[in-house]
Structure 1
Amino acid sequence: MEDMQVVRAGLVALLDAEFGLAVVGQAADAHAALEAAERNAPDVALLDIDLPGMDGLALARELTTRAPACRTLMLTAFDRPGYIARALDAGASGYLLKSVSPPRLAAAVRTAHAGGRVFEPAGLAGSAGTLTPLTAREAEVLRLTAQGADARAIASDLFLGVGTVRNRLSAAVGKLHARTLVDAVRIAERHGWI
């Protein structure tokens, strides 16, 4: 699952050339990936984090429900500890940077298929322990704020009171030791917590 066509074509060619591996589907966005996974029942799905429609982390979580036999590997440019922890929490079998070598990528797919976990480079595994100081709800309201929603819109979307949303945003600013809400968004994005 990669939104950039030339990168996706390169991955397909690389993996199809590997003995014992066959690409059964590809998609440019999360919704098409879900349809392809339900239709083709892949053993392993490669997912980028930055996708149109739904991010790769949410897609990994959704695949555990809609294609439970499919293992997921995150293949991304983001090496932030928060993303790694969130990927594992979403049920991903591994996390690889796009700088991975083709032989290591193919080996990672085989390892995930066999039920193993993969981190490339190997040091990423240790960074998955850097957890967010935010609660899930604080991260959610901060993520919606980062997307441009105001407190009223967030309250409406999440069926919360405006005061509750403001309290959660204030708590997030405090926990991140940020000076402003904009600063809190920047800090949380830099660490991959939202």
Structure 2
Amino acid sequence: MIRILIAEDQALVRGAISALLSLSGEVDVVAEAENGKQAIALINEHQPDMVLTDIEMPEMTGIEVVEHMAEHHPNIQSVIMTTFSRAGYIKRAINAGVKGFILKEAPSDYLLQALKSIQQGKKVIDPELAISALDDNDPLTDKERKALRLAGDGLKTSDIAAKLFLSEGTVRNYLSEAIAKLNAANRIDAARIAQQKGWL
């Protein structure tokens, strides 16, 4: 029996995945989270064998959850399930030690089989996605990425500085660097480009 935690912000999708896996008789869904921060709290509480997470969620993205797990819970296997096949997402997830990358449109029996394979120590990542990830290099630093994501949400420099505990001058430098690296017209354009690439 695989003890699994599901992190997915859409209640309908989360409920469907949970019901589907529970019906198999081979998976015990120990907890469900609607955002990344809640997922971290529930991981600490339940210590599941595996975490199945979406990427784009409020509070913390699925990639950030996986990165946190790699640092604090390396024994818990992480699997990403998403509708986004962006190369940047895949590369960051692989670098963080994700064991599986499954597209939501995959058949339900494929999902169950993938989880069982991962439990046995295998990696399950679509070959085409893995190849596209290897061909796509993210030029942004972690701090540039955080500043750019907040800028993309419409925050002013002063608000970004307050959220990241940095000076406004430092934030402006990070945003300028990101704009230059992405050959963007401005911070909003840079955020859009990085979002499309899967780097945010």
TM-score normalised by L of structure 2: 0.86
- Letter in structure 2 aligned against 1:96: I
Per-residue CA deviation, residues 67-101 of structure 1 (Å, 9 max, x unaligned), is 43211101011111111112223332121111111
**Whole-angstrom distance in 2 between the partners of 1:39 and 1:153:** 33
- After superposition, where does 1:3-42 map in structure 2 within 5 Å? 3-42=9-48
Indicate if the aligned counterparts of 1:2 and 1:28 stay in contact, CA closer than 8 A: yes
**Whole-angstrom distance in 1 between the partners of 2:36 and 2:115:** 20
Give the deviation of 1:185 after TM superposition: 1.3
Indicate if the aligned counterparts of 2:147 and 2:174 stay in contact, CA closer than 8 A: yes
Q: Are 2:196 and 1:190 aligned?
A: yes
Per-residue CA deviation, residues 130-156 of structure 1 (Å, 9 max, x unaligned), is 121222222222112112222223233
Which sections of structure 2, spanning at least 5 residues, go unmatched? 1-6
- Letter in structure 1 aligned against 2:172: R
Aligned length: 193
Q: Higher strand share goes to which structure?
A: 2
**Whole-angstrom distance in 2 between the partners of 1:125 and 1:56:** 18
Give the deviation of 1:177 after TM superposition: 1.3
Per-residue CA deviation, residues 151-173 of structure 1 (Å, 9 max, x unaligned), is 22323333433223222212211
1:97 to 99, 103, 110: 103
Name the residue aligned to 2:60: 54
1:127 to 125, 129, 132: 132
Question: Counterpart of 1:24 in 2: which secondary structure?
Answer: strand
Give the deviation of 1:65 after TM superposition: 4.2
TM-score normalised by L of structure 1: 0.89
What RMSD over aligned residues (CA atoms) do the two structures have, in Å? Answer: 1.9
- After superposition, where does 1:87-166 map in structure 2 within 5 Å? 87-120=93-126, 122-129=127-134, 130-166=136-172
Give the deviation of 1:46 after TM superposition: 0.6
Q: Which moved more, 1:110-119 or 1:98-107?
A: 110-119
Give the deviation of 1:19 after TM superposition: 4.7
Question: Counterpart of 1:23 in 2: which secondary structure?
Answer: strand
- Letter in structure 1 aligned against 2:112: A
Instruction: Assess, with a 3 A threshold, how the Cα gap between structure 1 residues 133 and 67 changes in structure 2: closer, same or farther.
Output: closer
Indicate if the aligned counterparts of 1:72 and 1:112 stay in contact, CA closer than 8 A: no
- After superposition, where does 1:58-77 map in structure 2 within 5 Å? 58-77=64-83
**Whole-angstrom distance in 2 between the partners of 1:6 and 1:159:** 36
Instruction: Assess, with a 3 A threshold, how the Cα gap between structure 1 residues 159 and 36 changes in structure 2: closer, same or farther.
Output: closer
- Letter in structure 1 aligned against 2:107: S
Task: State percent identity of aligned pairs.
Answer: 37
